A and B are shown apart, each in its own frame.
Chain A
Amino acid sequence: MTRIGSFARITAVVLAIVVIAVPSFAATGSANFKTVVAIGDSYGAGFESNSLNEHHSVFSWPAIVAHQLGIPLCTLGSSATDNCFAQPIVSFPGIGPELQLMDISTYPPVIVNAAGQGVPLNTTFGRPFNNVSIPGANVADTFTVTGTDKPVTRGVQQLAQFILRGPVTEVDAVVAQKPTFILVWIGGNDFLGSATNGTTAGLTPLATFTTAYNTLLDKLVATGAGVVVGTLPTNPGAVPFFNTVPTVLINPATRTPVLGPTGQPITLIGQVDGTPPVGQLLPGSFITLGASSLLAQGFGIPSALKPILDPTNKLPAFGTPLPDAVILTPAETATLKARIADYNTAIVASASAHNVPVADIKGLFDRFATGLNVGPFHLTSDFITGGIFSLDGVHLSDIGYTLFANEYIKAINTGYGTHVPLASVATFMQNNDPSTKMASGAAAFPGMMWVLSDEASKSLMQMFSLTTPPPARRRASH
């Protein structure tokens, strides 16, 4: 099957489901779901695997909530007068071509960029999008960044051009729609950029955050619409970007720690809290996924081991400490957690002052960290295999966004006395069982077995160059 054929089929199935499978029993309680809008960031946009594209934006958490409220998603064929939930639609492989897993028989697994680049497809849609979540947006951006900012210095401004489509902010765009209900999750980008760069520099000051959040809710509550917000995750250990790369040297062949001369695992070297600021990583340190390509060059391996592990000088960076940018030290982690906890306090206080219910997203991520059962399935925050996160290690999978959306549905039901049914992750059963497949006619969402072109396989993802086998592997497997 060609990719085009596969794509067309998937799209057709998605559209059919969006049109047909609308729950008919979304009870409304004291909330009015006539015009539902969403303010948010990359999570709200359904950004997955480093990409914004139509395969996954249909499973953005606001889209899932809207679906459970009985509101169909707008499609490319929808008109401005249709009662549907409009979002930007970007063709596959998306803006930021989607990361794709190619091979799990090797270690690390082979992940590549899908070939090509997606383009926005519904820029002429005749009314503002219901979901104006812009990847990269922080709290203040929701009422400052417009679709016509000049000069464009940040990614969020660039994306705003086709999401906001005019001289308006996210808040302006939703207020203009006279919303009856506003879904809000914002604040992740007030700390994420710092965390992924292994630093606490750049965290939005608490006072700034608090003021911005209050300003945002002032504006939204003034519309008279129902509003729901959510807390922020505080635990890097719940996120594959931070919890995947161990702080000890791993033998790729056995996927177990390489043991040093003393029989102990070899702790990598890099930034530590103390003097000197470089040494064996402290317990509780997190190494980001961004370190993958560095480890492959020998970064982080103590130089004393060179005669044993790299006698022929194949690892150019052997003995070079991992850079600060890929390490969250225990002190940095503590600072980060404390700041996010403060943000959460501010969110809860602001929500309380505005009489707005709060979805427990912090609690959800805490459950991600421990693993959770949904029906017969177990889900964890493991990279690639856990099921909750997408291949960029930061953004959720379709399944993860469904669990995220359910936290919002629970908050809405509790806060507004509604009985909106939770979204089911059963939507994401591959239904590969032959009798199930036969009875279903077609699987709801066919397994997306990627068709790989030569170009695509050569196009390694820029973010984590995981396709290069770490040379240490050869040594360690002897």
Chain B
Amino acid sequence: MLAVSGAAFGAGFGLFEQGAKATAMGGAFAATADDPSAIFYNVAGLAQQRHTTFMAGGTGINFSNEFSGDPNDAFTSGATGRYRAHTFIPPNTYFIMPIGSNITVGVGVFTPFGLRTNWEDPWIGRFVSRDANIKTISVEPALAWQTSDGRFAFGVGAEYRRARVVLSRNSTLPPGTVNVNPFSARFIDVASAYLSSDWDHAWGWNAGVLFKPASDWRIGASYRAPMDIDFTGNVTITQISTGNAQLDALIKPGLPPSQPVTTTINFPSIANIGIATTAIPKWDLEFDVVHTGWSRFKSLTVNFLTTPAAGFTRPQNWDDSNSYRFGANRTVNANWDVRFGLLYDRTPQPTENVSPLLPDSDREGASFGFGWHNGPWMIDATEFALHFKKRGTQGISSPDTNFNGTYRTDANLVSLNLGYRF
């Protein structure tokens, strides 16, 4: 169950869908934070929840995408590609329990980051990336305290994050040897490289505040610290036959052996601030800005430990990015709520580093959901459509990939959570 993966859904490879209600409100939840997913969205929100509650669920993510080559590029012109079909289901589970009248403690399991770009064969971008998979799973004990009048709350959490990286690509002949199969004058694949890390981990922290300046206004803010996870793993290099024994024999000595590798992923900080109001009867409206510190993601470097020269660095040079999120919850009756949300999420990725490894873009999302609660039971369900704006390399793909083209992506997410209030 923990071996989950997700595609990139919170700009870059962040996953901001950690609860069906919050997702229905476009992720604008820092100032609401009134279900156990507050452990992710704003830990201070736990304090206002005065019942022992268990909540679990997940988000099913499907997407369609299309790569089309740059008509002005002598390699990618006319080429197309798409991801292999996958349904990703990042799970979430939370348990919270009030202690006394001012404190609530809890523990959450969620998947704050994830990436899968697995290109369907035949894929001419396989020399850049055939499959990339970053999986994370976090466990976070948290504690929140509020003033007795409930106007101010403060919370902290300690996040234990485990992650794993898998990268797969093919290699062609390195410059300076032979450029083509000289017998056929055709370009060839000479080897595949499959890099698989262990599950490695790091600890991080987060904190949040929730303030209710008036009976119908709330302000929330949360900060989740950056983390670096150092990975150890192995790369398996497999020679691919060219069909010619002489050529294969010539190539073989030039291939690095399978060997241990190390790499590091610099996960960003996430800061969100939101303001919410219930000034309109039966409506709860919230607007949030989420700032993700992606400028830490400068490069993806893989160190080969046996033959260091075979290691590589893929520059990323991301920038910090903001997303803007609006959500609404309309109380229909004692048992039903309906919700919708809108979001605009700016990509942190510079144009030149858009690549098959991770073709990111600005996103526009619209969500719709409902909540049903009856006695101790709660069900939240959400449909969320996410459109990635068309993104192209504009002919300036960085030299390390030199892969120009345009990516079109759409995603559909269905979130479901079941809760029980003791």
Contact = CB atoms under 8 A, between A and B. Distances in A.
A450 B182 CA distance: 11
Interface stretch (B49-57, B223-231, B244-252, B273-281): B244-252
B172 A377 contact: yes
Given A430-B188, A432-B189, A105 B78 contact: no
A433 B124 CA distance: 11
A425 B187 contact: yes
A378 B127 CA distance: 13
B243 A419 contact: no
A344 interface: no
B74 A384 contact: no
Contact of B71 (A373, A375, A421, A429): A421
B71 to A, nearest CB: 3
Given A385-B177, A422-B72, A424-B69, A432 B183 contact: no
A315 B171 CA distance: 44
B75 A430 contact: no
Interface stretch (A141-149, A208-216, A396-404, A463-471): A396-404
B71 A422 contact: yes
A440 B120 CA distance: 11
B175 interface: yes
Contacts of B123: 436
A376 B241 CA distance: 19
A434 B240 contact: yes
B178 A385 contact: yes
Interface residues of B, number: 49
B184 A447 contact: yes
Interface string A26-58: 000000000000000000000000000000000
A378 to B, nearest CB: 4
Contacts, number: 158
Contacts of B126: 433, 436
A380 B176 CA distance: 9
B178 A378 contact: no
A399 B180 contact: yes
Nearest to A422: B77
Nearest to B245: A105
A330 interface: no
B266 interface: no
Contacts of B146: none
A447 B128 contact: no
A297 interface: no
Nearest to B401: A376
B246 A104 contact: yes
Contact of B188 (A419, A421, A432, A434): A432
B244 A449 contact: yes
Nearest to B178: A385
Contacts of B242: 430, 432, 447
B309 interface: no
Given A421-B77, A426-B79, A447-B242, A379 B179 contact: yes
B186 A430 contact: yes
B317 to A, nearest CB: 21
Given A428-B187, A434-B240, A447 B78 contact: no
A321 B242 CA distance: 42
Interface string B217-242: 00000000000000000000000111
For A375, A382, A430, A431, the residue with the greatest tally of chain B CB atoms inside 10 Å of its CB is A375
Interface of B: 69, 71-79, 120-124, 126-128, 170, 172-173, 175-189, 192, 240-244, 246-247, 249-250, 399, 402-403
Interface of A: 23, 25, 101, 103-105, 109, 371, 373-380, 382, 384-387, 390, 397-399, 402-403, 406, 419, 421-426, 428-436, 438-440, 445, 447-450
17 contacts: A23-B78, A374-B74, A377-B172, A377-B180, A385-B179, A387-B185, A387-B187, A406-B74, A422-B72, A424-B73, A424-B78, A428-B186, A428-B187, A430-B187, A432-B243, A433-B189, A445-B186
